[in-house]
Amino acid sequence: MTTTRPDRILGPGHDEFWNWCARGELRLQCCDDCAELAWPVVQSCEHCGSNSFQWQAMTGKGTLVSWCRFDHDYYKGLLDMPYWTILVELDEGPLFVSNPLSIPEEELALGLAVSLAFQDCEDAGGAFKLPVFKKT
Ligand SMILES: [Zn+2]
């Protein structure tokens, strides 16, 4: 089932991120000069200023560090209400904002082990795979 979502940010860097997601991989920019990971997408490294990156594959494993339930319909009927946003600390370090997949509200807990899944979605830019997280 394809879910309609708010429009993604597209353009340099963002397009590469979504292309990796389309292949079922979560990859983040890794600086060629200082080896720091960058997320969200950057045009130049926040640590050393380099603009040379590789796209490094993440394991898709992480832990839940925060979560928030939205009861206000900010997207005017686009999303099923209420919806949850979660903050996952990836095992590689970056914090990643996402949505939970089939995690009951009462099971959302600090330190919960989660793993990556992809949800078939679409927006004005077309079909895409959204990285989400389920219980490990
Ligand atoms: Zn750097």
Report the predicted TM-score, pTM, of the whole model to 2 decimal places. Answer: 0.94
pLDDT tens for residues 20-49?
A: 999 999 999 999 999 999 999 999 999 999
- 40 within 8 A of 46, measured Cβ to Cβ: no
CA pair distance 7, 125, nearest whole angstrom: 7
CA–centroid distance, 28 to ligand 1, in Å, is 13
**In the chain, what are the domain boundaries?**
3-135
Closest CA to 107 of 78, 134, 74: 134
CA–centroid distance, 36 to ligand 1, in Å, is 6
pLDDT tens for residues 46-90?
A: 999 999 999 999 999 999 999 999 999 999 989 999 999 999 999
pLDDT tens for residues 81-128?
A: 999 999 999 999 999 999 999 999 999 999 999 999 999 999 999 999
Which residues lie at CB < 5 A from ion ligand 1? Answer: 31, 33-34, 45, 47-48, 50
CA–centroid distance, 47 to ligand 1, in Å, is 5
Residue 116 CB: number of other CB atoms within 10 A?
23
Q: What are phi and psi of 22, to 5 degrees?
A: -60, -25
